[in-house]
Chain A
Amino acid sequence: MRPLDPRLLRQARAARLYVGLTTGLGVATTALLVVQSLLLAHIVAGVATDGLSFTDVRPQVVGLGIVLALRAVLAGVQERFGHRAATAVVRQLRERLIGHAVRTPEAAGADLALLATRGLDALDGYLTRYLPQLLLASTLTPAVLVVVGWEDRLAGLTILLTLPLIPFFMALIGMATQDASDRSLLSLQRLGTQVLDLIAGLPTLRALGTAGAQRERVRAAGDAHRRATMKTLRTAFLSALALEILVTLSVALVAVGIGLRLVHGTLDLQTGLAVLLLAPEVYAPLRAVGTQFHASQDGLAAAQQAFDVLERPVAGRGTTPAPDLTRATLLFDGVTVQHPGVPVATPGNLTASVRPGEVVALTGPSGCGKSSAVAVLLGLREPTSGAVRLPGSLKLADVEPESWWNQIAWCPQHPVIVPGTLDENVRLLCPSATDAQVARAAAVTGLEDVVRTVPGGWHSRVGQGGTGLSAGQRQRLALTRLLLSEAPLVVLDEPTAHLDAGSEQAVLALLRELRSRGRTVVMVAHRPALVAAADRTIDVSGNVSPGLETGSQMGVPA
């Protein structure tokens, strides 16, 4: 992996003030360090060999005090503002990722959410520690080397010759351990998953009465994970060890040279001390880069993933205003969706029409492409081939999405509950609905029964941190939303999946209500009662390419 991603650097430009500040502070700190070393060397050498008294070195001591005080201030300033570069860049990248996801809703998922949160947060180490050190290594190392060379040419030359050994050996070790650490990372993940799987299954094991007996397995899996971790760490820490020893040996080489020349009287103590204090500082940025390298990799990998996502093309959006759906007939014209890794196209070559005011049921065994057909109709997914056609030889892809969505009310399989009150949630699609309208709609769907049982009624909080709603209750809430919406096209995805036979009546009542209002309804239906309630059914599986298995329930994405 490249240590510098130019895309990230471009992004980091937004935070260049703070990256610059961090680097500037690094430069200033090192400059102070150089001055401090020279002053210290002057004082100690003066007192030790030239017999100077405290009064003689007082100006230098005062100067040293000032330098040390400044360093303390710089340390504070660094802590105070150093994080801002990372905060700003992470924020911006997050915003861009989210913006991109919003424009490509079908590609968004939990993985992307994780990348946008934890993944990018890991960039912190890269931006606040690794990147500034890298900049310091490329600027300060030569600068301090020049100072050392100025003081003592031989020591400077020694450092110049040993310096390249560090990146060379680091690269060598890195290459040698890469395979091993990749392998062990995989086994680490697997073992970690095992432990978590047992934990997730704890309530089940309790219900089976065998939880106590699984204690051994938790320990065994944990121990295996520990051993694998230690194996990884032994290799990972090895590079730090090598780095440390390389630096120490290099400094020792310099020190021995100084010592010998001091003994022979060819070097004065002040220079010797100064060089001794400065020599480690030449290596320090390189060392830091080496130790921060691993810590920064997660963040860098996340950033690269993020940029890869951002570079995915966003499909062009249509610009033609959508036709009035109270009058327009929709036509599935050979709509085919090919899912990656699935041999069968689901749906394959679906051709059907939906006329305004009709209640149409999409039927077929699970996995035959009903949900994909709905996604295409909603304009959330591009069909692999074919199109949804509208009057006036218009294709859905050419329609301006907002004007399309404005005319649709959709109840997906897992309807959203936004954090807030039940009342806010029920008005999600139609904030302006009157209380009377809400009450009437809730009576049709049976939501009023739910409201009666939860403490706080309409004002009880639901969603994150609020009362949990059962799947059935959620579904009723979503159905009530549909009823409150003014949208001419209503799309339902398996609306009764969680309701029992008695509550099915509620859905049927909803359908009657929608029909009486002249709404067009497209619903994915499993239950015969719903299919019977439709004006017409479209058998989606009938459109699957012949000769291929369609009845499989083996997890083919629906």
Chain B
Amino acid sequence: MTGEKSEGRVGPRDQAARTGAAAGDRAGGPAGPSGGRAGEPAGPSGGLTGPAALLGVLGQMRPDPWRLLLGAVTGAAAVSCSIALLGVSGWLITRAAQQPPILFLMVAIVGVRAFGIGRGVLRYAERLISHDVALRGVVRLREILFARLAAADQTVAAGLKRGDLLARLGADVDELGDVIVRGVLPFFTALITAAASVVALWMILPEAGMILAATTLMAIVAVPYVAGIGGRRDVIGTAQARTKMSENVLALFDNLPELTVSGRTAEQVAQIARSDDRLSAGLDRAARPAAGAAGLGSAVMSAAVLGCLVVGTQAVADGRIREVALAVLTFVPLALAEVVAVLPAAAVSLVRAAQAARRVAPMLEAPVPDGRRTLEVQARPVPIGGLPASRGLRVVRELPGLHLRAQNLAAGWPGREPAVRGVDLDLAPGRRIAVVGPSGQGKSTLLRTLAGLLPAAQGHMLMDGTDVGDGIDLADVHTRSLRALVHLTADDSHVFGTTVRENLRVAKKDASDEDLVEALGRAGLGEWIEGLTDGASGTGLDVVVGDPAGPGQGAGTHLLSGGIRRRLLLARAFVSGAPVLLVDEPAEHLDPATADDLVAEVLGSSRAGQTAVVVTHRLSPLALADEVLVVDHGSVVARGTHDELIATYPPYRSAWAAERSEQAA
């Protein structure tokens, strides 16, 4: 029965852990083969106890009660067949020894065969049913989590690192599916079977029934309790030790060349050995309660066998039961022992799943934005595709053009100090703004806040108005309508593992192939798309592309280099046709000439009436911008046109001169 331990683990967990680990490391966060930091609940409601979280999450998975019941009953029936098989065979041959006419035995012989076949078939059915229930739950939970995070307050999803996201929705959710098969159903099965066995024995001999009731109760409640609760800390500790060890291994392998040259490998290897020591010690400690539970379970069921045998022998001597019943009395507890033997392992899997549930539960409670975001806004002159009318939304205004305005804006991640403060910015339709400054000074955060993806830490983001009372606060605009108005190309935007066409249409469902090719051309990928093939039938827009850092690619996937990836994301922005384009560093990974062309192209979007804000480190193309903001040390330290800044702001002038001298060289 221990084979259950590893069967049916067929979720996408492997890949989740793989990319989760890789992505987590890159982000400087936890990398977990067991799916993130075991035992450390994430988020504000991490105070939820394990069992409560587990119940809540399992409830959300809404396992079909009928299927669940069917699974439990089938499982119980399969196990009952084993027990009946042994009981009836015992009766059969004891009866046969009394040499009755053979006809008397026929029913029992048929019974033996039926139970024998039934056991196998029912077990097969039970395994399929339980896995199906579990997988349905997994699909459902993942869908709910996805929808929750899609709708939740901006800050929730934004606060999750990519690696965390994959670990929670990948490995943790799989674990929660597993627990239905390996943790929940075994208990149901054991309960049903034990109840049936107790009733059967009670009918033969009440004392035997009582003995079996007392012992199985212990085996179903006390023994798993010892294993689960007794081993809880070690189970969690072991998971943490394993995570730690894997992190260390990954850290070594990722940086091996550098560590080798700097002569630091021995140290890292020693650290791995230390964490492996801790893991071994943890496994050894965790084995103690497991051993206690196994011994106790075996002892309890042995007591049942022995007790039934003793009372049965007495009863036969007293003539209260017939001789043949004695075999049944002893063989039933013997067979039941096998059923309850899996329960300690089931309890441990419940403990593990409770940890996963504690990490997942806060996401289910992720705050959904309050009643504010109800205003649907459409801007006119730039065609953005019709927004389907949605219930509960009010189309308040159809704007002549989208005019955004930042007033004394502070941008920052919720719960942290704002990265930039005091930004005033007028984004009239068609305006071209560039933001420059050293890296790590909050330019990207500012861009997210301008896009309405992060709430303003202070001040206001207004739409179509000159003052607070008069304009629409971005925080009031319905998310979907806002997203159609403002398009952000972030530096960590995702390239999906699908065709170039689908990757672009994500920004606008009904874009034609001509639109897509044109956008690619604007992003400097015209030649690239013409020459693109996947080595088989697909060419151009039909080629499946992938991010080398993404969750694994199939055969025929064209992996994108950093420069191409950036430009594909930019093409997506052009496809969107949004009135406001916010682009974070289109020039990275590109040679200076190409980089400048792209920055110029983004700023040139105003030709179509689009407003453009671009964060860049290239200064030469900024002559095209209406205004350049220099962000440093948490505020706008200088602003003006390119020429004004060259004239009045020495650091800008010298940086620009440096850039120009490079070009000359």
Contacts and interface: CB of A to CB of B under 8 A. Distances in A.
Given A61-B306, A214-B150, A555-B559, A526 B591 contact: yes
Interface string A248-264: 11011001101110111
Nearest to A252: B116
Contacts of B659: 501, 529
Contacts of A225: 11-12, 135, 139
Nearest to B651: A502
Given A208-B507, A462-B28, A240 B440 contact: no
B258 A415 contact: yes
B41 interface: no
B445 to A, nearest CB: 11
Interface stretch (A2-10, A195-203, A309-317): A195-203
Contacts of B438: 446, 472, 499-500, 502-503
A234 B128 contact: yes
Interface string B164-181: 011001100000000000
Q: Which of B11, B258, B316 has the largest number of chain A CB atoms within 10 A?
A: B258
Contact of B12 (A195, A412, A504, A531): A195
Contact of A110 (B22, B127, B553): B22
A209 interface: yes
A244 B261 contact: no
Interface string A174-207: 0000000000000011111111111111111111
B169 to A, nearest CB: 5
Nearest to A558: B561
B538 interface: no
Given A110-B22, A202-B165, A210-B483, A193 B665 contact: no
Q: Which of B11, B260, B576 has the largest number of chain A CB atoms within 10 A?
A: B260
Nearest to A406: B263
Interface stretch (A70-78, A143-151, A332-340): A70-78
Nearest to A485: B262
A192 B15 contact: yes
B7 interface: yes
B655 interface: yes
A116 B269 contact: no
B263 A405 contact: yes
Given A48-B316, A102-B265, A528-B665, A215 B147 contact: yes
B93 A75 contact: no
B117 A245 contact: yes
A553 B619 contact: no
A240 B276 CA distance: 36
A200 B169 CA distance: 9
Nearest to B152: A206
B437 A527 contact: no
Given A251-B116, A263-B99, A81 B287 contact: yes
B561 A554 contact: yes
Q: Which of B119, B158, B561, B576 has the largest number of chain A CB atoms within 10 A?
A: B561
A200 B493 CA distance: 10
A153 interface: no
A439 interface: no
Contacts of B312: 47
Nearest to B102: A263
A410 B19 contact: no
A72 B90 contact: no
B497 A197 contact: yes
B18 to A, nearest CB: 6
B299 interface: yes
A238 to B, nearest CB: 7
Interface in A115-174: 116-118, 121, 125, 129
Contacts of B17: 118
A382 B26 CA distance: 28
Given A48-B326, A259-B93, A265-B99, A528 B662 contact: yes
Contacts of B169: 199
Interface size class of A (residues with CB under 8 A): 35 or more
A357 to B, nearest CB: 21
A446 to B, nearest CB: 8
B594 to A, nearest CB: 9
B537 interface: no
A198 B146 contact: yes
Q: Which of B135, B151, B293 has the largest number of chain A CB atoms within 10 A?
A: B135
Contacts of B109: 256, 259
A31 interface: no
A527 B116 contact: no
Interface in A474-503: 497-503
B10 A229 contact: yes
Contacts of A255: 89, 92-93, 112
B411 to A, nearest CB: 15
A61 B150 contact: no
A192 B12 contact: yes
A535 to B, nearest CB: 14
A324 interface: no
B603 interface: no
B645 to A, nearest CB: 12
Given A53-B317, A204-B494, A429-B262, A83 B554 contact: no
B494 A203 contact: yes
Given A48-B327, A61-B306, A109-B253, A273 B146 contact: no
A79 B506 CA distance: 53
Given A44-B326, A232-B10, A241-B120, A207 B619 contact: no
Interface in B587-639: 588-589, 591-592, 617-619
B403 interface: no
A487 to B, nearest CB: 9
Interface string A496-517: 0111111111000000000000
Given A83-B284, A504-B658, 7 more contacts: A106-B257, A192-B11, A210-B480, A269-B97, A464-B251, A501-B617, A553-B564
Which 5 residue pairs are nearest across A and B when measured between Cβ atoms?
A209-B483, A192-B12, A76-B295, A528-B662, A472-B439
24 contacts: A40-B309, A44-B326, A53-B313, A69-B302, A72-B298, A79-B295, A102-B252, A196-B552, A233-B127, A234-B128, A245-B116, A258-B93, A258-B96, A259-B109, A269-B94, A276-B90, A416-B255, A468-B29, A472-B439, A499-B617, A502-B437, A528-B664, A555-B561, A555-B564
